[in-house]
Amino acid sequence: MEKQYLPNYKPEQVQSMRDELTYVGFTELLTPDKVDEIITQSKERSDETFFVVVNSVCGCAAGSARPGVTSALQNDIIPDNLYTVFAGMEKAAVRQLRKYLEPNLPSSPCMALFKGGELIEMIHRHDIEARSAGETTESIVKLFNDYCDAAGPSIPREKFDKLVSEQICGSTLEPYTA
C-alpha cells in the first residue's frame, strides 16, 4: 500500500465509530471501486436515493454527526441505501467519493444525499460542528422527508435504544505506524 493511503489511526481505535453507523444499517465503502459501483448502481436505479456519511474521529463535529444521523434513521421516511467511508482510514475510497461531491470542498465529517447518481444536497462539517446532535437530526430528517420515500426506521426502536454513541477526539488517538 502506498504511504499516502496508509490509515491515520490504528483500526481498533476507530472500530466503535464504524460500528455506530453499521449498527443502524450503513454499508462501508472500503475501496474506490466500491464507491464507483454505488454511483453506477444509483444511476441505473434513478428513482432510488442513497445517503453517504464521511465518518471521522473529530470529536467536535463527528460527536454530533453520528448521533444525529443515527437518530434521523428512526424517521418514518429514509433513503433507500446507506453508505459510509471513513476519513483518515480508507483514504483512496474517501478521495474517490469526494470526486462525486465536487464542487464542494472536502469536509469530514459530512453527509450527502444522492438520487440517480447525482448529488442532491450535502451537509458539511461547518453545518454540524456548531450544532447539537438534535439539531443535526432535524436537518437530516428534513432532507429525508423532502427527497426520500423508503420506509423507516432503519432498525427497530428497541435495538436503537441500545446504541451507544462514541465521543472520542482524534487528538487522543495513537497514530498508525506501518
Identify whether 69 is part of a domain: yes
Identify whether 89 is part of a domain: yes
Cell of 7: 490509515
Q: What per-residue string of b and e applies to 25-59 under the rule 16 or more CB within 10 Å gives b? A: bbebbeebebbbebbeebeeeeebbbbbbbbbbbb
| E strand or H helix at 15 | helix 11-22
Residue 178 pLDDT: 60
Please give the chain's pLDDT, 178 residues, in tens: 566 778 888 899 899 999 999 999 999 999 999 999 999 999 999 999 999 999 998 766 877 899 999 999 999 999 999 999 999 999 999 999 999 999 999 999 999 999 999 999 999 999 998 888 999 999 999 999 999 999 999 999 999 999 988 766 555 556 656 6
Residue 22 pLDDT: 97
Distance CA 154, CA 166 (A): 19
Identify whether 178 is part of a domain: no
User: Which CATH number fits the domain that encloses residue 40?
Assistant: 3.40.30.10
- Residue numbers of the domain that contains 44: 3-166
Identify whether 118 is part of a domain: yes
Identify whether 33 is part of a domain: yes
Identify whether 173 is part of a domain: no
Find where cell 428513482 sits. 47
Identify whether 172 is part of a domain: no
Among 58, 110, 148, 169, the active-site one is 58
Domain count of the fold of the chain: 1
**3 burial class (0-12, 13-18, 19+ CB within 10 angstroms)?**
exposed
Instruction: From residue 6, give the alpha-carbon distance in Å to each of 57, 90, 148, 166.
Output: 16, 8, 36, 23
- CB atoms near residue 124 (< 10 Å): 18
Residue 5 pLDDT: 75
User: Is residue 169 annotated as part of the catalytic site, yes or no?
Assistant: no
The DSSP annotation for 92-142 comes to: HHHHHHHHHHTTSPP-SSEEEEEETTEEEEEE-HHHHTTS-HHHHHHHHHH
Identify whether 171 is part of a domain: no
Residue 63 pLDDT: 77
Residue 42 pLDDT: 94
DSSP conformation class of 147: H
